[in-house]
Amino acid sequence: MHFSSLSLSLTALAIVSPCIAHPQPVLRQDDSQTRADTIKSAFSHAWDGYLQYAFPHDELHPVSNGYGDSRNGWGASAVDALSTAVIMRNATIVNKILDHVATIDYSKTDSTVSLFETTIRYLGGMLSGYDLLKGPASDLVSDSSKVDVLLTQSKNLGDVLKFAFNTPSGVPYNNLNITSGGNDGATTNGLAVTGTLALEWTRLSDLTGDPTYGDLSQKAESYLLNPQPKSAEPFPGLVGSNINIATGQFADAQVSWNGGDDSYYEYLIKMYVYDPKRFGLYKDRWVAAAQSTMQHLASHPSSRPDLTFLASYNNGTYDLSSQHLTCFDGGSFLLGGTVLNRTDFINFGLALVNGCHDTYNSTLTGIGPETFSWDTSSIPASQQTLYEQAGFYITSGAYILRPEVIESFYYAWRVTGDETYREWIWSAFSAINDYCRTGSGFAGLTDVNAANGGGRYDNQESFLFAEVMKYSYLAFSEEAEWQVQTGGGNKFVLNTEAHPVRVST
């Protein structure tokens, strides 16, 4: 999950009938192969453009053919693309990225380092590449010392970043100056940025044999698992949004699954998948949060009571709005439901997936908006018809190549085997391929509910490679150890950037 502050207003109107899922006939194997090949070609298109115009910078500007360094200039798109290139079995790209990783100096940057973003993209990308190339994809790279560099560099990066946890409580600063060993002077840290470190940092410890990294992340997490004061947990398992760095106490009791909070909940169940022996408490907290979410946050638009979205809650007041980012929620319920054998969680996950599909299926592009609402007190006149038909109206119509909806479709496909969900992935991928593709890569849209997607954002986030391409490809590619499995059979767990990490053995 990722943060972004897009504030765009939108007035376009969609008149598309809401659609309900019908069972699909099973896709023929060669059709599945054709789709997988199309997704691979799209990945190559983006890679080739990045290589030509932006490498070794962080990301391509896909309209102007320029580049940006929004992630400290260490080649974020290359590192984020690694695990997808491995899964697509493209040895040329994999070798190019390994050669690049060996050259990165993680101790040097001109800009502020985000502990969270650096962890999920760079650390997660390198550790996943290591796990895949030492494991089920070991035939892809003949020189194993090139693979060893991934772990050496992961340790180097962990050593650069670990001072972030050097606070009175052990709750880290997120925004770091790695040159001075300083920070931005924040007094609180966010729930997601604090609670989305344990998988990568624990994996780093388990692979290096040095417990320091895992211990630091788990100490920070301990304040989230046992929230104080008690008022910061208004419903069992659902906690506030900001934590005091000096004391580890929560600073508020605002509850949501939206950006800023999201991947805290995601990692509770993923840590259990990673190692059920060590992370049973994390699972208990996820179960509590999931049950409270079904009971207190599930919300049904008045115009479409058949749809389920998640509201947020603060001190007795519900906010009836949600985000593209929040749409990882269906996948989280599906993963927890299958791992814990809980039909109620699976069914609720499918209801959330259906709601997020509605946000895609109801726009003129077939892509869902950045933010939307079903609060009837402030429906813009121009969107009354959209609200009546689709059960939501758009509060920001941007699409910046986010993966969460396709991600949850992927979990729905893996957990149920129902072809409907693969068709939804194919529709979403096809819409992105149609509307976002430029001469050198993929650009965001300013308005998913304008006939042509509105304008284009001149930016291609690295998560296009890591997430959108990977989840789409996985749905149409072969059975493999890195695929999400039903029941307790997972050999890998995908971090929040979709990097598969081998589960603890």
Ligand X SMILES: *[C@@H]1O[C@H](CO)[C@@H](O)[C@H](O)[C@H]1NC(C)=O
Using CB under 6 A, which of 10, 47, 63, 308 touches ligand X? 47
Residue 211 engages ligand X in binding (rule: CB under 6 A) = no
Interaction residues for ligand X, span 100-119 (CB under 6 A): 111-112
The answer to whether 117 is a known catalytic residue is yes
Q: Is 487 in the site for ligand X (CB under 6 A)?
A: yes
Q: Active-site residue 423, yes or no?
A: no
Q: Which of residues 267 and 410 has its CB atom nearest to ligand X in the complex?
A: 410
Asked if 255 touches ligand X (CB under 6 A), the answer is: no
Q: Is 419 a catalytic residue?
A: no
**Among 304, 302, 481, 499, residue whose Cα is nearest residue 407:** 499
Torsion angle defined by CA atoms of residues 441, 445, 448 and 454, in that order, rounded to the nearest 10 degrees: -120
Ordered DSSP codes for 453-472: -SSEES---THIIIIIHHHH
Q: Residue ranges for the binding site for Ca(2+)?
A: 496
Span from 71-79, 88-96, 268-276, 434-442 in contact with ligand X (CB under 6 A): 88-96
**Segment interacting with ligand X (CB under 6 A) among 173-181, 260-268, 347-355, 459-467:** 173-181
Work out whether 361 is an interface residue with ligand X (CB under 6 A): yes
Least separation in angstroms between CB 357 and ligand X: 8
User: Which listed range, 90-98, 133-141, 150-158, 219-227, lies at the site for ligand X (CB under 6 A)?
Assistant: 90-98
Binding status of residue 92 toward ligand X by CB under 6 A: yes
Among the options 404, 447, 467, 497, which is catalytic?
404
Residues 192, 262: contact at Cβ < 8 Å?
yes
Task: Please return the burial class of 355, using the count of CB atoms within 10 Å of its CB with bins 0-12, 13-18 and 19+.
Answer: buried
Q: For residue 357, what are the contacts with CB-CB under 8 A and spacing of at least 6?
A: 21, 405, 409, 424
The interface region with ligand X, picked from 3-11, 54-62, 89-97, 276-284 by CB under 6 A, is 89-97
Query: 173, 245 in Cβ contact below 8 A?
Result: yes
* 24 in contact with ligand X (CB under 6 A): no
Shortest Å distance, C-beta 207 to ligand X = 28
Active-site entry in 262, 358, 447, 467: 262
For residue 400, the minimal CB distance to ligand X (Å) is 19
* C-alpha span between 367 and 389 (Å, rounded): 16
Site string for ligand X, 322-351 (x = CB under 6 A): -------------------x----------
Q: Quick check: is 266 catalytic?
A: no
- Is the CB of 13 or the CB of 16 nearer to ligand X? 16
Neighbours of 92 (CB within 10 A): 10
CA atoms within 13 A on the CB side of 16: 22
Beta strands per DSSP E along 294-434: 298-299, 309-310, 312-314, 317-319, 321-323, 371-373, 393-396
180 makes contact with ligand X (CB under 6 A) = yes
Map tokens 């990568």 to a residue.
200
User: Is residue 299 involved in binding ligand X (CB under 6 A)?
Assistant: no
248 close to 228: Cβ distance less than 8 angstroms: yes
Provide CB contacts within 8 A for 49, sequence distance 6+: 60, 62, 65, 438, 439, 440, 441
Contact 173, 164 (CB under 8 A): yes
Active site residues: 117, 262, 370, 404
Residue numbers at the binding site for ligand X (CB under 6 A):
16, 19, 40, 44, 47-48, 90, 92-93, 111-112, 177, 179-180, 182, 315-316, 341, 361, 366, 427, 487
